[in-house]
């Protein structure tokens, strides 16, 4: 098979394929971070940019990819796949896309490896850049952070598309023939987002739930417009400071020989998410531990745009019975924006992710300043911190485990506690931290034993997710009261939102209401003589009035 291929060419080809695979993963993952990517063109070749494209390398992603590949290359029957999924703050997840880099037997012996193959791989990467912005998951990923996050998982081996639901579509990005086979890059994406919409129907929202609506009505009319853009975008690629520098050397036809450095291993990333929906269940913490079968594991993907987090949000149920509406995020977002997770020792993105396994986009520690409320907020956050470190410490010990933790966040209706703080005349008083008695039961602090399972990651991700959230599915989505911030319902019988809605437009003129006028016209005509008689009787008064005006 390799007789026609010189050893140098074979070596080059393997290297090209390997780096192509790594760059493919980078492009896909970066496209789902939720923000716009911009890299600079450089006319002088630095030699370190593979395929002559400026694609940044996020070290964690490279690490994951290398781990998944485990030194192998995509070959026949063994494809490299990147799976993109969405995970809501309640812990439900749904696969959105699977990108596959496959190799088949069809060889193109005549092709020049170092030149044509390289250029075609470069073209394929450009196509990938274009296509990643076109699939439906792109728009979803741009709006992530508030109620859901986008995760990725890299695996090597058989392509699994079962999780994409019925009617998934495939788009082929391109093919490149090489002397050892044909490389194909394609994407299978879900078209059926139905599970989201059924939730909405089951729930008793009094208006189309703006929270879920952000996801569902991506494909239907969106009543509240684009609430996703309010999140700041300060993702800083860690790749610059650390991580792989690929030194390139040009010789006869700009073959890029590289020496690369291994990037530092990353920790398992925790998913710490917030729910904005009221749920009646007092304990809503789920820990979803998914054993990883050595070849891939999910990582949470999001840029700093993440995390609208209400100021005093700890991990758990905040009692506040208020709910979020779409108007809410607008109001709340300002403090929330800096919200992040306040007490995490504020490190830049990569540090945060690598060391603490928290949401990498944890913005700065200014949050604390923006939280006007309660002193116990710091307690909350320390708790959050400890939780994460708990989980984090749990994870390295189970070397191949990833923990998904679902937090119940703000606006969860805790029937037990805290109406007292609501009566305080503090803004965000209603978000005052919950009672501490829950801490003993808090599975985040005392993580439950991980379920032992030998099913592949794919299966466990879904089965666990569905079983655990299954029975809670109905309860999770209960009616959400529309309670805008700063509104107190002790003053007026109606809340601010209703008031606003009612009085937003001036009342209809009586004379313009059609049903009335039809009758009253006749009545008016009849009553005219009486009115005239009345006015004539009072004519003196009117005259006196007119006198006073003059």
Partner 1 sequence: MNCRSEVLEVTVEGRQVDEAMLALLHTILLHRSTGKFHYKKEGTYSIGTVGTQDIDCDFIDFTFVRVTSDELDRVIRKAVGEFKDALSNSGSDGMGQISLEFYQKKKSRWPFSDECIPWEVWSIKVNVVNLANEQERQICREKVGEKLGEKVINIVEVINRHEYLPKMPTQSEVDNVFDTSLKDVQPYLYKITYQITDSLGTSVSTTMRRLIKDTLAL
In which residue are the tokens 């995390």 written? 307
> In the complex with partner 1, which residue's Cβ is closer, 181 or 321?
181
By CB under 8 A, the residues from 220 to 249 that bind partner 1 are 221
Q: Determine the Cα angle at 405 with ends 401 and 406, to 5°.
A: 155
State the minimum distance, in angstroms, from the CB of residue 210 to partner 1: 17
Binding partner 1 (rule: CB under 8 A), the pick from 171, 327, 368, 479 is: 171
Residue with tokens 């939102």, as numbered in its chain: 497
Nearer to partner 1, 176 or 391 (CB): 176
Which residue, among 491, 387, 374, has the nearest Cα to 431 in the 3D structure? 374
Q: Which is nearer to partner 1, 130 or 521 (CB)?
A: 130
**Residue (of 29, 485, 369, 35) closest to 231 by Cα position:** 35
Stretch that binds partner 1, among 81-89, 137-145, 296-304, 533-541 (CB under 8 A): 137-145
Which residue in the set 19, 49, 439, 473 belongs to the binding site for partner 1 (CB under 8 A)? 49
Structure tokens at 388: 């994460």
Is residue 128 within 8 Å of residue 97, measured between CB atoms?
no
Name the residue nearer to partner 1 (CB basis): 42 or 72: 42
Shortest Cβ distance from residue 191 to partner 1 (Å)?
12
Residue 203 CA to residue 276 CA, distance in Å, equals 14
Interface with partner 1: number of residues (CB under 8 A): 44
Is residue 193 at the binding interface for partner 1, with CB under 8 A as the rule? no
For residues 52 to 91, the per-residue mask of contacts with partner 1, x marking binding by CB under 8 A and - elsewhere, is: xxxx------------------------------------
Return the HEC string of 365-415. Answer: CCHHHHCCCCCHHHHHHHHHHHHHHHHHHHHHHCCCEEEEEECCCCCCCCC
CB of 197 to partner 1, least distance (A): 17
Does 250 engage in binding with partner 1 (CB under 8 A)?
yes
β pairing state of 271-272 and 401-406: parallel
Q: Measured between alpha carbons, how far is 35 from 305 in angstroms, rounded to an integer?
A: 8
38 near partner 1 (CB under 8 A): yes
- By CB under 8 A, tell whether 138 contacts partner 1: yes
Report the nearest approach of partner 1 to the CB of residue 169 (Å). Answer: 10
Q: Which letter does DSSP use for residue 117 in this model?
A: I
Q: Is 290 helix (H, G, I), strand (E, B) or coil?
A: strand
Binding segment (CB under 8 A) for partner 1, from list 66-74, 174-182, 496-504, 534-542: 174-182
Quote the crossing angle between the two packed helices 59-69 and 7-31, to the nearest 10°: 130
Q: Does 167 bind partner 1 (CB under 8 A)?
A: no
Q: What is the nearest approach in angstroms of partner 1 to the Cβ of residue 215?
A: 15
Of 284, 288, 306, residue with least CA distance to 297: 288
Nearer CB in complex with partner 1: 248/433: 248
Q: How far apart are CA 345 and CA 334, in angstroms?
A: 21
d(CA 285, CA 186): 37
- Stretches 173-181, 301-309, 377-385, 403-411: which one binds partner 1 (CB under 8 A)? 173-181
Angle in degrees, CA 50, 352, 230, rounded to 5: 85
**Minimum distance from residue 87 beta carbon to partner 1 (Å):** 23
Q: Would you count residue 43 as binding partner 1 (CB under 8 A)?
A: yes
Contact 405, 285 (CB under 8 A): yes
Q: Which is nearer to partner 1, 242 or 254 (CB)?
A: 254
Distance CA 425, CA 314 (A): 21
CB of 301 to partner 1, least distance (A): 16
Binding of partner 1 at residue 130 (CB under 8 A)?
yes
Restricted to residues 427-466, the positions that interact with partner 1 (CB under 8 A) are none
Distance (Å, whole) CA 183 – CA 205: 49
Q: Judged by CB under 8 A, does residue 257 bind partner 1?
A: no
Kindly tell me which of 139 and 201 has the beta carbon lying closer to partner 1. 139
What is the rounded end-to-end Cα distance, in angstroms, of the chain?
Answer: 112
Comparison of 189 and 477: residue with beta carbon closer to partner 1: 189
Contact residues for partner 1 (CB under 8 A)?
A: 36-47, 49, 52-55, 115, 120, 123-124, 126-127, 129-131, 133-135, 138-139, 142, 171-176, 221, 250-254
């Amino acid at each position: 098979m390799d007789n026609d291929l010189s050893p140098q060419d074979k070596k080059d080809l393997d290297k090209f394929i390997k780096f192509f695979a790594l760059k493919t993963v980078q492009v896909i993952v970066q496209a789902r971070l939720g923000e716009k990517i911009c890299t600079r063109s450089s006319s002088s070749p630095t030699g370190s940019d593979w395929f002559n494209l400026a694609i940044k390398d996020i070290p964690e992603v490279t690490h994951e990819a290398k781990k998944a590949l485990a030194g192998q290359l995509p070959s026949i029957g063994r494809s490299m796949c990147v799976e993109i999924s969405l995970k809501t703050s309640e812990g439900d997840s749904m696969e959105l896309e699977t990108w596959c880099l496959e190799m088949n037997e069809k060889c193109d012996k005549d092709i020049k490896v170092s030149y044509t193959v390289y250029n075609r791989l470069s073209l394929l990467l450009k196509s990938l850049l274009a296509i990643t912005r076109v699939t439906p998951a792109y728009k979803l990923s741009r709006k992530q952070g508030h109620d859901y996050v986008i995760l990725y998982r890299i695996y090597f081996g058989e392509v699994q598309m079962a999780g994409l639901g019925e009617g998934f579509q495939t788009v082929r990005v391109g093919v490149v023939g090489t002397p050892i086979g044909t490389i194909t890059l394609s994407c299978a994406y879900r078209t059926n987002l139905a599970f989201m919409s059924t939730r909405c129907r089951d729930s008793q929202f009094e208006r189309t739930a703006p929270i879920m609506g952000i996801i569902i009505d991506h494909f239907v009319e969106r009543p509240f417009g684009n609430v996703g853009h309010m999140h700041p975008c300060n993702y800083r690629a860690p790749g610059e400071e650390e991580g792989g520098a690929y030194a390139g050397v040009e010789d006869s036809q700009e073959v890029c020989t590289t020496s690369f450095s291994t990037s530092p291993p990353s920790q398992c990333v925790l998913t710490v998410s917030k729910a904005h929906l009221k749920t009646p269940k007092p304990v809503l913490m789920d820990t979803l531990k998914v054993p990883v079968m050595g070849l891939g594991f999910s990582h949470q993907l999001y840029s700093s745009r993440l995390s609208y987090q209400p100021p005093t949000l700890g991990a758990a149920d905040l009692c506040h019975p208020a709910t979020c509406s779409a108007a809410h995020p607008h109001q709340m977002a300002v403090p929330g924006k800096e919200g992040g997770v306040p007490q995490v020792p504020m490190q830049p993105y990569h540090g945060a992710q690598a060391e603490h396994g928290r949401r990498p986009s944890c913005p700065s520690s200014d949050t604390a300043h923006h939280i006007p409320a309660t002193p116990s907020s710091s307690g909350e956050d320390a708790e959050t911190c400890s939780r994460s470190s708990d989980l984090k410490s749990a994870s390295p010990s189970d070397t191949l485990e990833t923990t998904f933790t679902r937090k119940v966040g703000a606006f969860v209706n805790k029937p037990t506690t805290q109406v007292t703080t609501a009566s305080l005349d503090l803004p965000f008083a209603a978000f005052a931290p919950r009672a501490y008695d829950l801490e003993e039961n808090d599975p985040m602090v005392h993580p439950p034993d991980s379920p032992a399972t030998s099913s592949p990651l794919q299966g466990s991700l879904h089965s666990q997710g569905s079983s655990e959230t299954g029975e809670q599915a109905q309860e999770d989505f209960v009616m959400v009261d529309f309670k805008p911030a700063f509104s107190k319902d002790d003053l007026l019988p109606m809340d601010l939102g209703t008031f606003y809605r009612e009085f937003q437009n001036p009342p209809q003129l009586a004379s313009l209401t059609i049903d009335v006028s039809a009758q009253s016209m006749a009545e008016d005509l009849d009553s005219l003589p009486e009115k005239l008689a009345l006015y004539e009787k009072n004519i003196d008064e009117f005259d006196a009035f007119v006198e006073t005006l003059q």
